[in-house]
Structure 1
C-alpha cells in the first residue's frame, strides 16, 4: 500500500480520477484557500485486473505506464524487462480524443498505421512488419477483438511490444506479428464512484456521445464498469460517413487469495463511401496524393462488421509463492462489404476498378492456463512459469466480383452505377465454412534474479502446434492442398543488468513464428507447404528512469524468411528480409509544466539489396504538452509525426514521398457546482492540410497506398459527476 497526501489543481484531480486504483476510501475533494483542490490522505492498492501484481502505475505525466503485461511473464516493470515495450494510458487516449487503436498508436515512433488488403482493416506496422488488427491480444488472449476496427471507448491501456514475441504470447493466428505485438487492456472500476458523460463532434458533422460509469462495493472487493458510445455522421472526407455503436461491461472481484475479472463487449461499425486503398500499376511512378478531403470511393461501397466478445479470467494463490491462473474467451462476428479499389494506370491518375463483395462470419474460442512458482536456490531467486494455450477459429466466407469494370481518375472523383455481381465464391447471404484454424502451445520460463537483484536473466521456450485447414467456397469440401499442420520450438534468452537504480542495460534473443506459405499453381511443387517461418531477432538496449523523465535506446537485427520460386520453379525459401534498426524513446515530464512523449526510429529493411515494401528508413514523433502556470487548468499540446520515403514495389522503382503531419490541441478544466468537473477539449489534426500517402502495403508483397487523413477539427466536452 501507498500512503500519499495529494494537493491537486483541477487538472491533477482529473488525472487521478482516470487512474484505476482498486481499493481505497472514497474521498471528496475540498477546495483550499488559493483555489486549488486538496485530497485527504488515501490508501491505494493495485487495480483489480485479476492479477497478483495488478495494473502498472502511470509514469510521470500520465501518458504511459511504468510497465505492462509481458505474456507468460505477467506484469513487468519496463526497467526490469529485457524487451522493448510501451503502455499508453487512458489519460492519453482521452486527451487526444483518439477514437481507435490506430489513432493511439500514432504516438509510437516505431509504429505506423496501414490498411488490410482490399478493405478498411487497420494494420499496425511495427519495426517494418505488419500486425493485423485481428492479431491483437485482449488481456493476453488472441482473436477476441473486432477484426476491422476497434473503438477506444472501453480501453484502459494499449500496450505495444516491439520485436519478435512468439515465446511470450504464442504465434499470432492471423499470420502476422513478426515485428511486434499489440495488447489491449479493458477498463476496470476505480476506487471512487465514477459517472462520466462525453459529447463531441468533428469536421463534416460527425458527432459522438459516450458514457463511462463505475462503482465499487464499500469494502472495495467488487467492482463494475460500464462503457457505452455512439458515433455517427459524415466525416471530414467528403462522401465518407461512418457509424459506430459499442457497449462494454467489466466486472471484477479481488479477494485475499482469489482474483476474478470478466468482460462482455459489443461493437457494430459501418463505413459508407470510405476512402479506398489505391494500387499503382507496375512501372508507373507514384503520382501525387489526391485531395484528402474528397473520397475516391463510390457511394455504394461500404463495410459493416458486428462483433460480440467476452472473457473470464481468474487467478488464485495456492501459497504465498505459488499462483495459478486460467482465462477463457469467445467472439462471434458478422461482416459484409462492397469494395471497389482503384488501380492507377498512369501518372495522370487514371484508374480502373471493379466491384468486389465479401461476407464473413467468425466464431472464436480461446483460453490459457498456467502456474507461477517463486523459490530460491543458493542465493538466486527463481520465478518459474508454465503455461498452456489453445485457439480455435471457424470462419465462414463468401465473395463475388462485379462486371463490367469501370474507370475514373483519383483527382476528379465521379460517381458510377453499381455493376451486377458475377463469379460468386459461395453464398453471400449464407457463407459456408472455408477456414478452420487450431493453435496449441505450451511455454516454460524461468526468471532468475541475482547479485542483489541487479542481474536478471530470462530463459524460456515455447512449443507451438499450428493447424490451418481450408475448405472449398462452393462445395464445403476440405482442400488438402491448402491444409497446414506443423509444429516448432521458439526459445528466448534475455539478460538485464541494473547499472544504477535509474539505468538498466539489456540484451535478448527471441524468435517470431508464422505458418509457411504454399506453392502456387505455377510452381513445380504445386500445393507443397513450407515449414513454419521463424524470425530470429537479437537486441541490445539501455533504459533510463529518472523518476520524472524516462527513455530508452535500442538496437536490433531480425531475419525473416522470404519464399519464392527458384530457377527450377521450385517454391522454397529463396531469401531473407534483414531488418536492422535503432530506436530512441523519451517520455515523462521535462519540467513540472512540460510533458514529452516521442522518439525516433531508424530502420534498414533489406531484401537482397533492395528496401522492403512499406518500410520507411526514418520515423519520428514528438508530442509536447504545456500546462500554463498562470492558468493551471489550461493545457496546450502539439504533436509532429514524420515518416520518411518508402517503396511500394519490391524492385524499388516506385518511391513514395516522405510526409510530416502537425497536430495541435488544447483543453480546459472548469469546476462546476456540486463538485462536477467539465473538461473542454479542442484539437486540429493535420493543421497544414497536407495531402500525402500515409502508408504503402500492410499485406505481404502488396504495395497498395492509403491516403492520409485531411485537416480535421475535433471538439468534445466531458462531465465528471
Structure 2
C-alpha cells in the first residue's frame, strides 16, 4: 500500500487530492506555508469547493462550514459564522491579507478564488484589525488572471421562486512574459428568494490587477456592491420574560416574520493593494494597504422579541442608518539568513488602521406590532411614521501595531519553530453630529507573543503546538441593545493548541485540541429600559477538539469532512451566567461533502451538515440539534461548439425545519431551495 498523499497542480497551485483543499495556505504576514510544516492550524478552501458548495440561500458561510471549527449563525441574508464557538459577523474577515475590508452583509462571492481559515487568535500574523477574531480569521483571496489560459465566462442562475443572477468572469494576461494580469467579475441579482417576501437586488463588480516580474509583484483589487434588500429575514430574540417550559418548534423556513417595508439599502466599496519589492537575494520590502467604506443610507429595521411557547412575538422598528470607514496601511521587511544549521525566515512590519463608525444623528424607534411565527400576517403591518436620518462618524479609532516574526527551520527540514511578538495601541475618540470632537474615550496598549513548533517525523506524519494571542478593539454593540452604537473595551484573547497531521493513501487528516480564553460579554436587564445592555463581565473559555479529513476516498470519490466537540463555559460575577454555556453555542458540529466524479464531464455532489443542541437564556431553554442535506449534479457539454457547464442543486433536500441560534436570537433555518445554472465559456 502506498502512503504518499497525491497532490495535484492546477494553474500553479498545489492541491490535496480531490482539489477541495489546497496543500499550502497564505498565513497572514508569514506568507505561503505548507500544510504539513506550519505550526499554525490553517485550512484553505479551494475555488472548486467555493463553487461546489456555495448555497444560494445561505451564501458563503455555508461553504466556510466545510471546516469543522466554523458554524453558520444568523439569518440567511448575512454571512455570519462562529469559529471555535466565537462569533465573527463579517467585520473580522480579511481580504488579500488586509483586515477590516468586509461588512456584516451577504458576502459577494463571485470574485473569491480561495479562502484561508486561520484558526486561533493571532494579531501579529493577521494584522491590526478592529474586529473580534478570537476563534480565528477568515481570509479571502481574490481571483487573479490565470497564467496559462484566458478566462471568458458568462453565466445565469435561477433560484426557487424566480430569483435570478447573471454574471461574467473575464481574465487575461498582457505584456512581455504575461507579467500583467486583469480579472473582472461582475454580477446582477434580482427577485424574490426562497423565503417569502424577501426581495433582493444586488449588483457588484470586482476588478483585480496584478503584475509579477523577477524583482517585484503587485496586486490591486477594487470592488463595489450595491444592495437593496426588502423584507430581509431576521430572527427573534428570546425574551428575558419568556413564558413557557420550552421553545416553540421551528416553523417552516420559507415563512418570513418581517414585513416587506423592512428594508435596507447600502453600498460597499473596497480596495486592497499588495506590493513586494526584492532588494537583494535575502531581503524584500513589502507594502499592504486597504480602504473600505459601507453606507447604509436607507434603513427600516424590525427587531422582534419571542414572547412565549405559542410563538407570539412583539416588534419594534427603527431607522438605524449606518456609516463606517476603515483605512489600513502596513510596511515592512522580510528576509532570510542562516545561523549554523538553522535557516531563519523573518519578517518585521508596522501597521495602522483608522476606523470611523457611526449611526444616525436622529435615532427613532416605534413599537406596537405583534404577530405569530407560524402565521405572521405581515401584510397587515402598517409601516412606521419616522423619517430617515443621516448617519455620522460618531466614533474614531486608531489601531497601531508592530510585529516581528522569525520562522526557524533545521537543516533536515523536520523541525519548524515560530517565534513572534506583536505590540498594539488602540486610541478612541467620540465626535458630535456636527463633526466636532467630543472626548477621548480610551487609550490602550498591549504586547502579544506568538509561539509555534511543528515536527515532521516523515512526509506522512507531523505534530504541532502553538500559543497565540490577540489584543483587539472591543466589539460594536448592535441595535437590539439599549447601548447600541457603543464599543466595548479592548480585550486580549489567548489560545494554546496541540495537534497531529498525517496522511493515509490519498487522504490528509488533522486532529487538534485547543483551549481559548477571552473577555466575556453578557446581556444585562435594567429597570426602566425595554432593551438589555451588552456589558463586559468575566471570561469565556472554550476547550475542544477537531478532526478534519480531505482527499480521494477511492477512484472517482472525493471527500471533505470533519467534526468538532466544544466545551464552552463562562466565568462571570453573575450567578445567572457563571459556569453556564454561552448562549447559542453548540457542543457538537460536523460536516461531510462528497463528490462522485463519474468522468471529466459528469459529477454528483452531496453535502451533510450537523449542528448539535445548544441553549438560550443561560441554559433555561434548549435549542434542538439539526441535520441538513444538500445534493446536486454538474454536467459539462457544448452548445454549437461553445463549452457549457450545467449545474442543478437542491439545498436542504428534506426541507428540515430548525432554529439556527446566535446568542439569544433564534433564526429560521433556510428552506428547501432549488438552483439551476448554466455557465458558457465563450
Write the mapping of 1:623-662 to structure 2, written as runs, cut at 5 A.
Answer: 623-628=593-598, 631-649=599-617, 651-662=618-629
Q: Which residue of 1 aligns with 2:3?
A: none
Q: Which residue of 2 aligns with 1:194?
A: 151
- Report the Cα distance in structure 2 between the residues aligned to 1:622 and 1:671, rounded to whole angstroms: 31
Q: Which residue of 2 aligns with 1:433?
A: 393
Shift of 1:546: 5.0
Shift of 1:329: 1.5
Which of 326, 330, 340 is residue 368 of structure 1 equivalent to?
Answer: 330
**Change beyond 3 A, Cα 1:600–1:477:** same
- Report the Cα distance in structure 1 between the residues aligned to 2:327 and 2:475, rounded to whole angstroms: 25
Please tell me whether residue 65 in structure 1 is matched to residue 22 in structure 2. Answer: yes
Write the mapping of 1:46-445 to structure 2, written as runs, cut at 5 A.
Answer: 46=12, 56-98=13-55, 100-115=59-74, 121-174=78-131, 176-191=132-147, 192-217=149-174, 219-282=177-240, 283-284=242-243, 285-335=246-296, 336-398=298-360, 400-414=363-377, 415-421=379-385, 428-445=388-405
Are the equivalent residues in 2 in contact too, given 1:515–1:533 (CA < 8 A)? Answer: yes
Moved more, 655-664 or 573-582: 573-582
Q: Which residue of 2 aligns with 1:522?
A: none
Please tell me whether residue 616 in structure 1 is matched to residue 596 in structure 2. Answer: no
Shift of 1:436: 0.9
Residues 230-266 of structure 1: per-residue CA shift (max 9 Å, x gap): 1110111111111110111111111111111111111
How many residues in Structure 1 have an aligned counterpart in Structure 2?
A: 642
Residues 398-443 of structure 1: per-residue CA shift (max 9 Å, x gap): 0633334211111101123444445x9xxx4432221112111000
Write the mapping of 1:561-580 to structure 2, written as runs, cut at 5 A.
Answer: 561-562=519-520, 575-580=538-543
Please tell me whether residue 599 in structure 1 is matched to residue 555 in structure 2. Answer: no
- Report the Cα distance in structure 1 between the residues aligned to 2:491 and 2:315, rounded to whole angstroms: 34
Shift of 1:696: 2.5
- Report the Cα distance in structure 2 between the residues aligned to 1:338 and 1:292, rounded to whole angstroms: 23
- Report the Cα distance in structure 1 between the residues aligned to 2:357 and 2:78, rounded to whole angstroms: 17
Q: Which residue of 2 aligns with 1:663?
A: 630
Write the mapping of 1:504-515 to structure 2, written as runs, cut at 5 A.
Answer: 504-515=462-473
- Report the Cα distance in structure 2 between the residues aligned to 1:182 and 1:98, rounded to whole angstroms: 18
Q: Which residue of 1 aligns with 2:480?
A: none
- Report the Cα distance in structure 2 between the residues aligned to 1:338 and 1:223, rounded to whole angstroms: 42
Shift of 1:709: 0.3
- Report the Cα distance in structure 2 between the residues aligned to 1:198 and 1:407, rounded to whole angstroms: 42
Q: Where do 5+ consecutive residues of structure 1 fail to align?
A: 1-11, 22-45, 47-55, 520-527, 698-702
Q: Which residue of 2 aligns with 1:25?
A: none
**Change beyond 3 A, Cα 1:69–1:178:** same
Are the equivalent residues in 2 in contact too, given 1:687–1:711 (CA < 8 A)? Answer: yes
Q: Secondary structure at the match of 2:494?
A: strand
- Report the Cα distance in structure 1 between the residues aligned to 2:506 and 2:643, rounded to whole angstroms: 27
Moved more, 612-621 or 101-110: 101-110
After TM superposition, the score normalised by the length of structure 1 is: 0.85
Residues 646-687 of structure 1: per-residue CA shift (max 9 Å, x gap): 1122x210211101001111111114554x321111110100
- Report the Cα distance in structure 1 between the residues aligned to 2:376 and 2:397, rounded to whole angstroms: 41
**Change beyond 3 A, Cα 1:574–1:142:** closer
Are the equivalent residues in 2 in contact too, given 1:139–1:185 (CA < 8 A)? Answer: yes
Shift of 1:632: 4.4
Are the equivalent residues in 2 in contact too, given 1:97–1:714 (CA < 8 A)? Answer: no
**Change beyond 3 A, Cα 1:513–1:384:** same
Q: Secondary structure at the match of 1:82?
A: coil
Please tell me whether residue 684 in structure 1 is matched to residue 650 in structure 2. Answer: yes
- Report the Cα distance in structure 2 between the residues aligned to 1:304 and 1:518, rounded to whole angstroms: 21
Q: Which residue of 2 aligns with 1:719?
A: 680
After TM superposition, the score normalised by the length of structure 2 is: 0.89
Shift of 1:339: 1.3
Q: Which residue of 2 aligns with 1:525?
A: none
Are the equivalent residues in 2 in contact too, given 1:563–1:572 (CA < 8 A)? Answer: yes
Residues 456-482 of structure 1: per-residue CA shift (max 9 Å, x gap): 10000100111222334x5655454x7
Q: Which residue of 2 aligns with 1:446?
A: 406
Write the mapping of 1:532-543 to structure 2, written as runs, cut at 5 A.
Answer: 532-543=490-501
Are the equivalent residues in 1 in contact too, given 2:184–2:207 (CA < 8 A)? Answer: yes
Shift of 1:517: 8.4
Are the equivalent residues in 1 in contact too, given 2:566–2:588 (CA < 8 A)? Answer: yes
Q: Secondary structure at the match of 1:535?
A: strand
Q: Secondary structure at the match of 2:319?
A: strand
Shift of 1:634: 1.5
Are the equivalent residues in 1 in contact too, given 2:54–2:63 (CA < 8 A)? Answer: no
Residues 690-715 of structure 1: per-residue CA shift (max 9 Å, x gap): 11012232xxxxx1111110000011
Are the equivalent residues in 2 in contact too, given 1:113–1:695 (CA < 8 A)? Answer: no
- Report the Cα distance in structure 1 between the residues aligned to 2:307 and 2:287, rounded to whole angstroms: 54
- Report the Cα distance in structure 2 between the residues aligned to 1:384 and 1:369, rounded to whole angstroms: 14
Q: Where do 5+ consecutive residues of structure 2 fail to align?
A: 1-6, 478-485, 525-533, 571-577
- Report the Cα distance in structure 1 between the residues aligned to 2:258 and 2:162, rounded to whole angstroms: 19
**Change beyond 3 A, Cα 1:313–1:79:** same
Residues 253-312 of structure 1: per-residue CA shift (max 9 Å, x gap): 111111111111111122211212211112443211122112111110012221122122
Shift of 1:346: 1.0
Moved more, 664-673 or 384-393: 664-673
Residues 542-601 of structure 1: per-residue CA shift (max 9 Å, x gap): 1124573212000011112336899xxxx9975321111000000111123000011000
**Change beyond 3 A, Cα 1:530–1:677:** closer
Q: Secondary structure at the match of 2:61?
A: helix
